[in-house]
Chains A and B, each alone.
Chain A
Amino acid sequence: MGFWNKMLMIDRRWIFLLVGLSLLIPMFLSSDFKLSISDEVRGIFDAMEKLPPGSRVLMTFDYDPPSAPELQPMADAAVRYCFKKDLKIIIMGLWPQGPQQAEMSLQRAFEVPEIAAKNLQYGVDYVNLGFQAGNEFVIQRMGTDFKEAFPKDVRGTVYEDIPMLKNVKNFSNVDFVFNLSAGYPGTVEWVQIAADRFDVLLGAGNTAVQAPLAYPYLGGGQLVGLLGGMRGGAEFEKVTGFKAKATTFMLSQTFAHGIVIFFVVIGNIAYFMTRGRQE
């Protein structure tokens, strides 16, 4: 069998091996690189930048551990930035594991000296309302009354006893909603219900697969901005000044993309070479 025929029929395990190496090896390398900030990411940053101290930001963690490599860096950067700007954070999740991911972001934020010095108090500066089953119907319920959707927070404290939620009845008492989503329920539901029906100011962070789906809403103005995949996370880390994992992993992703492009090119050359012979 000729070389190009062999390339056309290459065992996929060779591809898997090279992709694996292209992801692994860059993790041991370090590199400084510039990253341009896209309009989508700038949109979210600008919206948050305009919020005065004391504003309430609702952060919804609608993802689970498999999507954490892409979405956790976005969450970490957003939480740190909110605390840096003295914004109050209300955390919730439509996925069961979401609030646990939020706790990880909070712990990482408190390790930053600038934020630790603020001595932030649970229930006063941030609160975790936890997970609620019901998908988009939870969002619907929150449009009327947050307390109906979340009668207690993760620690079992009754809604009325949480100081920072004293005058928070529904979306009209929240200044910005930042949704982190890996699928359903997620950004689409937040746009269709919260942004469309309750006029909420909404920004979103999505996995790279989900992000193309959100562009129509970005174009339509229902989303003020969008963080898409690892690149979106890295740009947001850069613009908020908290460089972390998304920035680190960009090099691995670059190599992986390079390997995929290499194989696609080889595959096409093999296709044309063998097609020529057949003709």
Chain B
Amino acid sequence: MRREIPLVITSVVGIAFVIQYFIPHSPFDRFEQLFSDWFFIIAACAIWLGALNLLKLSIIKIQKKKKDWQYAVIIVASWLAMAIAGFAGGRDFQIPGTGFDWLYVNIYTPLSATMFAILAFFVASASYRAFRARNVQATLLLLAGFLVMMGRVLFDDILFGPFVQDFTPLSDISSFIMNYPNLAGQRAIMIGIALGTVSTALRIMLGIERSYLGGGD
């Protein structure tokens, strides 16, 4: 029964979701909203599972002085600081002027922006390593990459601007690449993904794919 009940629930809810997509009449029009609300409620409650798990593991690491336990101190301190600031702020904990908002604006936001900014450097090092003209396809990839990179910035103005007015071949080629080969490739990948999604969903709904429940079939 431990596996049969979840399978039945999965099948019933999956089929209900499929049906409601085609039938606008009541009560089917409320299914999607109802089930999604349930999911979000469960997910919101489940956050505590994760948060407390993180706290527990960090405290154990500190207690037993495991390798790199100092980082666990930072985790616990940050966890408690944000949680206390949030609860202390009451219902309006997010409004400017609260402790939570100060932590958000002055610590969390710059840290997030820094991590995102690291991408600029990683793109450069990954490109340096990956863009090698090893064969015909790699060379085509390299050329397309060059043209789009140059077309998306001011190379037209720098290279041709002093000599010819309104001459923007790099921008035009870049636009062509984005609107035709890129678009075709994106559509092809999206069609493949959609088919894979349908097939996986069908397997899950019919109980053919059960490994997400744990273990073998």
Task: Report A-B touching, CB under 8 Å.
Answer: yes
Binding site for B on A (CB under 8 A): 10, 12, 15-16, 19-20, 23, 33-36, 38-40, 64-68, 133-134, 137, 140-141, 208, 211-213, 215-216, 218-219, 228-229, 231, 250-251, 253-254, 256-261, 263-264, 266-268, 271-272
B22 at the interface (CB under 8 A from A): no
Jot down 15 A-B pairs with beta carbons below 8 A, ordered by A: A12-B128, A20-B121, A33-B154, A34-B157, A65-B113, A66-B116, A134-B37, A137-B36, A140-B32, A229-B152, A257-B150, A260-B124, A260-B149, A263-B128, A272-B133
Closest chain B CB from A94 CB (angstroms): 13
Once A215-B179, A216-B190, A257-B149 are accepted as A-B contacts, the answer to whether A36 and B168 lie under 8 Å apart by CB is yes
Instruction: Give the distance to chain B from A12, nearest Cβ to Cβ, in Å.
Output: 4
Instruction: Verify if B115 is at the interface (C-beta below 8 Å from A).
Output: yes
B68: chain A residues within 8 A (beta carbon): none
| Interface contact A39-B175, CB-CB below 8 Å | yes
Q: How far is the CA of A133 from the CA of B37 in the complex (A)?
A: 10
Nearest CB in chain B to that of A68: its residue: B113
Complex CA gap A262/B168 in Å reads 21
Contacts between chains A and B (CB distance < 8 A), count? 125
B125 within 8 Å of A by Cβ?
Answer: yes
Are A264 and B131 interface neighbours, CB within 8 A?
A: yes
Q: Which residues of A contact B123 (CB under 8 A)?
A: 260
Given contacts A36-B156, A254-B155, A257-B152, 19 further A-B contacts (CB under 8 A): A15-B125, A23-B120, A33-B161, A34-B161, A35-B157, A40-B175, A65-B113, A66-B112, A137-B33, A137-B40, A215-B186, A216-B187, A219-B179, A253-B152, A254-B153, A254-B154, A257-B149, A263-B128, A271-B133
Q: How many B residues touch A, CB cutoff 8 Å?
A: 47
Q: With a CB–CB cut-off of 8 A, which chain A residues contact B45?
A: none
Which of B112, B132, B186 makes the CB contact (< 8 A) with A267? B132
Q: A140-B32, A231-B153 known; A264 and B178 CB under 8 Å?
A: no
- CA separation between A36 and B155, bound complex, in Å? 12
Residue contact A212 to B124, C-beta cutoff 8 Å:
no
Residues of A within 8 Å of B145, CB to CB, are: 264
Check: B146 CB closer than 8 A to any chain A CB. yes
How close is B106's CB to chain A, nearest CB, in angstroms?
A: 12
- Residues in A with CB closer than 8 Å to B116 are 66-67
Which chain B positions have C-beta within 8 A of A254? Answer: 153-155, 158
| C-alpha gap A261/B131 in the complex (Å) | 10
Residues of B within 8 A of A (CB): 32-33, 36-37, 40, 109, 112-113, 115-117, 120-121, 123-125, 127-129, 131-134, 142, 145-146, 149-150, 152-158, 161, 166, 168, 171, 175, 178-179, 182-183, 186-187, 190
Check if B33 sits within 8 Å of A260, measured CB to CB.
no
CB distance from A116 to the nearest CB of B (A): 22
A208 to B153: give the CA distance in the assembly, Å.
12
Q: Tell me whether A264 and B142 are in contact (CB under 8 A).
A: yes
A140 x B112 contact (CB < 8 A):
no
Out of B33, B149, B166, B183, name the residue touching A219 (CB < 8 Å).
B183
Chain B residues within 8 Å of A215, by CB = 178-179, 182-183, 186
List of A residues within 8 angstroms of B125 by Cβ? 12, 15-16
The complex places the Cα of A122 from the Cα of B157 at a distance, in Å, of: 42
A-B pairs with the 6 shortest C-beta distances?
A66-B116, A254-B153, A12-B125, A137-B36, A16-B121, A33-B157
